[in-house]
């Protein structure tokens, strides 16, 4: 049984869910003096962005490579708060590879001190890129122009697919950019993506500034980052309770306190933050007290749907590529991460690469052997050395509930931090943050819930880290 200090003058908070949303809310609140108990049903923190010892390969691996970008100011702020920001490797280069091996390099222009103002910084590399024909580049320029102005598409109810057809996108632009880079950033088919979300990604990653589009990858397993969150909470007189599956919550009107029933016993608290994925909240809803607005919340939850992400982890007896990551064109495997290079502490004799397949419901249906064989065959088309290398071990991780989709109209199904219940706040990547299903959205939701809670407690605090300001010509487009 977990107990909160009943007579403590500090207000107590139970945060349910130890993903990035819950961790960021918990750390923000502990930072300003709340006594927080972070309750997580699993034996480790991280939720959909975690790592563990995989028994099949006897290695600690991430459930999938998680990438952040410079524009993800809140996850960066969270990493700074818990002292792990130095464990992120940042890069601005993106190598696209075609089957057969031809490479195109995207990234911001820089020659000595000379840089180009945003949004032109990526233009020279795009113009040189062999992966796009001239007609593709013109089509992309046309689409980027249409997405350039913040707010211009915010009321659009169109799907990205329809919008792209209206903007006369070529097959090359569709296959090598929209169906690959943008569909995997949003982890959904272009026919199921709302245009405003795609426009946001295009502006943040390719137009607003070189800094906003730079890409960050952890040099340690994800769970090692969260040791920082546990340490931070303990140093601030708070705690993490693992293996604490929350089964129900009740509100005591007289004492104005919540009792959270967990598998390991009850926890009482003045405030609760529910930092669960939408299906997790949906499951607990019948056990929550009746209140006006609960039926509406239930309807919102029903609107959400999942998209899968699969990752194939391969250990070879030799190096497959000198690149630390790459985008693979025209095949089912989309992204390559050279984990041995990104995480040199692994001291591999050969190499360890991870291949990521986003938004493919077909790939998620393959068996382990089929998926690994397919990944190996396709990888050999990009790197012929795979044909002669020995595969030492392999793992397939299927996350069928990886992300929620962002189809047109989804914003109406994303509630804010304020819930139908007193002193209970909502977080999770699916709540209203304006961001797609990402760690940034999770952390933003955690910071927003912490802001709403601190305000309700009469100690209003700002936790949301502001966006990066657009640079160059983009700053005039506000």
Ligand X SMILES: Cc1cc2nc3c(=O)[nH]c(=O)nc-3n(C[C@H](O)[C@H](O)[C@H](O)COP(=O)(O)OP(=O)(O)OC[C@H]3O[C@@H](n4cnc5c(N)ncnc54)[C@H](O)[C@@H]3O)c2cc1C
Using CA atoms, how far residue 92 sits from 69, 70, 118, 179, in Å, is: 10, 10, 14, 21
* Binding segment (CB under 6 A) for ligand X, from list 30-38, 343-351, 361-369, 440-448: 440-448
Q: Pick from 11, 12, 15, 17 the residue near ligand X by CB under 6 A.
A: 17
In sequence order, the β-bridge partners of residue 337 are 325, 354
* Binding segment (CB under 6 A) for ligand X, from list 36-44, 82-90, 198-206, 364-372: 36-44
259 neighbors 266 (Cβ within 8 angstroms)? yes
Rounded Cα gap, residues 422 and 98, in angstroms: 55
Please report which residue ranges of 55-128 form alpha helices under DSSP H.
73-81, 123-128
172 neighbors 138 (Cβ within 8 angstroms)? no
Rounded Cα gap, residues 153 and 34, in angstroms: 40
Q: Does 126 bind ligand X (CB under 6 A)?
A: no
Q: Pick from 21, 180, 301, 366 the residue near ligand X by CB under 6 A.
A: 21
Q: Does 437 bind ligand X (CB under 6 A)?
A: yes
Using CA atoms, how far residue 412 sits from 304, 345, 355, 432, in Å, is: 11, 45, 34, 9
User: Whole-number minimum distance, CB 343 to ligand X, in Å?
Assistant: 16
Rounded Cα gap, residues 21 and 269, in angstroms: 19
User: Whole-number minimum distance, CB 172 to ligand X, in Å?
Assistant: 25
User: Whole-number minimum distance, CB 438 to ligand X, in Å?
Assistant: 3
Q: What are phi and psi for residue 218, nearest 5 degrees?
A: -70, 140
Q: Does 453 bind ligand X (CB under 6 A)?
A: no
Closer to ligand X by Cβ: residue 173 or 186: 186
Strand 271-275 and strand 12-16: the pairing is parallel
Q: Does 230 bind ligand X (CB under 6 A)?
A: no
108 neighbors 209 (Cβ within 8 angstroms)? no
Rounded Cα gap, residues 445 and 271, in angstroms: 16
Closer to ligand X by Cβ: residue 40 or 189: 40
Q: Pick from 36, 39, 118, 413 the residue near ligand X by CB under 6 A.
A: 39
218 neighbors 77 (Cβ within 8 angstroms)? no
Q: Does 64 bind ligand X (CB under 6 A)?
A: yes
Q: Does 218 bind ligand X (CB under 6 A)?
A: no
Binding mask 361-400 for ligand X (x = CB under 6 A): --------------------------------------x-
Rounded Cα gap, residues 448 and 235, in angstroms: 23
303 neighbors 44 (Cβ within 8 angstroms)? no
Rounded Cα gap, residues 312 and 396, in angstroms: 5
Binding mask 278-307 for ligand X (x = CB under 6 A): --x---------------------------
> Among all chains, which residue has been given the structure tokens 């990104």?
342
What's the CA dihedral at 407, 409, 413, 416 to 10 degrees?
A: 100
What is the size of the binding site for ligand X (CB under 6 A)? 37
Rounded Cα gap, residues 199 and 152, in angstroms: 9
User: Whole-number minimum distance, CB 318 to ligand X, in Å?
Assistant: 27
Cα 357 from chain centre: 15
Q: How many CA atoms lie within 13 A of 266 on its CB side?
A: 9
* Binding segment (CB under 6 A) for ligand X, from list 11-19, 141-149, 299-307, 447-455: 11-19
Rounded Cα gap, residues 219 and 241, in angstroms: 26
User: Whole-number minimum distance, CB 303 to ligand X, in Å?
Assistant: 17
> Among all chains, which residue has been given the structure tokens 């102005």?
149
Q: Does 465 bind ligand X (CB under 6 A)?
A: no
User: Whole-number minimum distance, CB 159 to ligand X, in Å?
Assistant: 21
Closer to ligand X by Cβ: residue 351 or 438: 438
Name which of residues 167 to 206 contact ligand X (CB under 6 A): none
Q: Does 405 bind ligand X (CB under 6 A)?
A: no
Q: Does 417 bind ligand X (CB under 6 A)?
A: no
Rounded Cα gap, residues 20 and 14, in angstroms: 15
Q: Pick from 439, 449, 453, 457 the residue near ligand X by CB under 6 A.
A: 439
Q: Does 450 bind ligand X (CB under 6 A)?
A: no
Q: Does 275 bind ligand X (CB under 6 A)?
A: yes
Q: Does 40 bind ligand X (CB under 6 A)?
A: yes
User: Whole-number minimum distance, CB 439 to ligand X, in Å?
Assistant: 4
Q: Which of 121, 125, 128, 140 is nearest to 210 (CA)?
A: 121
Closer to ligand X by Cβ: residue 336 or 439: 439
User: Whole-number minimum distance, CB 75 to ligand X, in Å?
Assistant: 7
Q: Pick from 423, 438, 454, 471 the residue near ligand X by CB under 6 A.
A: 438
Q: Does 340 bind ligand X (CB under 6 A)?
A: no
* Positions that interact with ligand X (CB under 6 A): 16-22, 39-42, 47-49, 63-64, 66-68, 245-246, 275-277, 280, 309, 399, 402-403, 428-429, 437-442
């Amino acid at each position: 049984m977990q107990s909160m200090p009943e007579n403590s003058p500090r207000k107590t908070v139970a945060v349910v869910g130890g993903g990035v949303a819950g961790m960021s809310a918990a750390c923000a609140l502990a930072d300003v003096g709340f006594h927080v108990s972070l309750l997580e049903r699993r034996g480790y923190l991280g939720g959909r962005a975690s790592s563990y010892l995989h028994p099949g390969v006897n290695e600690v691996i991430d459930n999938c490579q998680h990438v952040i970008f410079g524009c993800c100011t809140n996850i960066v702020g969270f990493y700074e708060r818990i002292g792990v920001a130095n464990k992120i490797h940042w890069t601005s280069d993106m190598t696209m590879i075609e089957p057969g091996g031809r490479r195109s390099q995207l990234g911001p222009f820089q020659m000595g001190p000379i840089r180009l103002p945003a949004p032109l910084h990526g233009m020279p590399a795009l113009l040189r890129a062999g992966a796009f024909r001239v007609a593709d580049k013109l089509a992309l320029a046309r689409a980027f122009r249409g997405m350039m102005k913040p707010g211009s598409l915010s009321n659009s109810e169109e799907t990205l697919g329809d919008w792209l057809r209206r903007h006369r996108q070529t097959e090359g632009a569709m296959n090598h950019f929209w169906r690959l880079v943008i569909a995997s950033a949003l982890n959904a088919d272009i026919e199921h993506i709302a245009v405003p979300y795609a426009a946001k990604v295009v502006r943040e990653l390719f137009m607003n500034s070189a800094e906003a589009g730079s890409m960050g990858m952890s040099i340690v397993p994800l769970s090692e980052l969260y040791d920082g969150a546990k340490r931070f909470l303990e140093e601030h007189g708070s705690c993490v309770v693992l293996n604490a599956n929350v089964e129900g919550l009740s509100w005591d009107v007289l004492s104005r306190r919540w009792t959270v029933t967990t598998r390991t016993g009850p926890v009482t608290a003045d405030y609760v933050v529910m930092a669960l994925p939408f299906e997790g909240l949906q499951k607990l809803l019948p056990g929550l007290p009746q209140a006006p607005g609960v039926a509406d919340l239930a309807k919102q939850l029903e609107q959400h749907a999942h998209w899968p992400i699969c990752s194939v982890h391969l250990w070879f007896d030799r190096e497959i590529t000198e690149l630390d990551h790459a985008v693979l064109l025209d095949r089912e495997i989309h992204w390559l991460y050279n984990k041995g290079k990104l995480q040199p502490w692994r001291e591999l004799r050969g190499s360890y690469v991870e291949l990521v397949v986003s938004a493919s419901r077909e790939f998620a249906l393959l068996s382990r052997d089929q998926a690994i064989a397919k990944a190996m065959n396709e990888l050999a088309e990009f790197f012929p050395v795979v044909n002669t290398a020995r595969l030492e071990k392999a793992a397939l991780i299927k996350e069928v509930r990886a992300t929620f989709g962002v189809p047109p109209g989804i914003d109406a199904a994303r509630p804010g931090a304020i819930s139908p219940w007193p002193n209970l706040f909502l977080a999770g990547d699916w709540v209203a943050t304006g961001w797609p299903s990402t760690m940034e959205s999770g952390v933003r939701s955690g910071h927003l819930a912490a802001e709403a809670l601190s305000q309700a407690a009469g100690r209003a605090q700002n936790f949301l880290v502001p966006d990066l300001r657009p640079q160059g010509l983009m700053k005039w487009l506000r």
